[in-house]
Structure 1
């Protein structure tokens, strides 16, 4: 899944010399949590609502409200934005973007193209949307988990059993996390199964079934 298919393209930015008070107002007005920071028309960094909160005076401060607002209006965005800037390319995968965010404990990445121009921003929310989409939960309520031998043909064998019961596959996801050596976990969503009880019994007789359940987003 390329980042360009899931990123937010309508960019809202802020200049590095703007105040953090202005940054806070922009975030609230647009219901966003991240602002790319520009310097002379080029990307210089990114600031989050978390950065703004950490820059604000403690609740234990003796400053009155007017003094606090005065100080916040004097602090510039460039003074509080993280020094390290991480970016992603529009052709990179959503999976890579998720890995970069997880590794560096960040929740958004500016998307920068070959011409070094920012083309968008991808956030954790965008990544959630992407993974929910490929999970198939909106197309099929029947979710089945397996622990299968890691060899050619095992997923095909499972799929054939489901199809024999009239089922149509909405998604297939696999992974090696928490699977014993020589095995992998496979997660399938299916629909249009004629007799789910009969399918469940046949699958249990032939494979290790981790779960067989219905769920949907309400």
Structure 2
């Protein structure tokens, strides 16, 4: 999967000369945690809620004087933004974007194409992609199968699902499960569950764990 499939397009932006009180209002009203700073079509920075909290004194803090509150209201976005933010392009693999975010503890990455801002990829987008890959929003049975590391074993497993006419909703592979085995987890739908289990065992594939969702249960 690629960033372009999961990024948020039509990104709200601010300019570097906008007062931070206005930036805070924009973020609060639109329920966003980060906003890019764009001047004359060029991305010059990004502001997060944490940046605003550090820069804006609370009106409920009795130790803050009216003069300090007035001064804070005149601070511009450019004074608190993070300059030269790390970016990715739409064709960046999603796992590479997630690794960048995890390594640098970023909550988001701006998506650029031909030096133009085309989107933003956030932690929420990554979580949504993860849920989709696991088939979490769809009802079905989750099966963990322990297989050896030979490619033939993986393809033999898929042939069993094909033979039993099961629909695969999601699949993940934990390749470092052990020195000898990898753990494959599948979310499946179909009417031949008993037949599937029998055929998996007949093929020499070990079912590690299985869970079938009830019709009204949540993923």
Distance in 1 (CA, whole Å) between partners of 2:208 and 2:22 is 51
**Residue 213 of structure 1 corresponds to which residue in structure 2?**
211
Distance in 1 (CA, whole Å) between partners of 2:41 and 2:158 is 52
Cα distance, 1:61 vs. partner?
Answer: 5.8
The runs of 5 or more residues in structure 2 that have no matched partner are: none
The runs of 5 or more residues in structure 1 that have no matched partner are: none
Aligned residue runs from structure 1 range 1-218, under 5 A: 1-57=1-57, 62-64=63-65, 66-67=66-67, 69-83=69-83, 85-113=85-113, 115-177=114-176, 179-196=177-194, 199-200=196-197, 203=200, 206-215=204-213, 217=218
Distance in 2 (CA, whole Å) between partners of 1:190 and 1:171 is 7
| TM, length-normalised to structure 1 | 0.84
RMSD: 2.5
Distance in 2 (CA, whole Å) between partners of 1:16 and 1:34 is 14
Change in 2 beyond 3 A, CA 1:147/1:83: farther
Of 16-25 and 203-212, the range deviating more from structure 2 = 203-212
Of 87-96 and 154-163, the range deviating more from structure 2 = 154-163
Distance in 1 (CA, whole Å) between partners of 2:101 and 2:146 is 29
Cα distance, 1:157 vs. partner?
Answer: 2.2
Tell me the SS of whatever aligns to 1:153.
helix
Q: 1:53-111 CA distances to partner (integer Å, 9 max, x unpaired)?
A: 233337766015x4454233122222222245110001112121111111110111111
Cα distance, 1:171 vs. partner?
Answer: 2.3
Distance in 2 (CA, whole Å) between partners of 1:193 and 1:169 is 13
Of 201-210 and 6-15, the range deviating more from structure 2 = 201-210
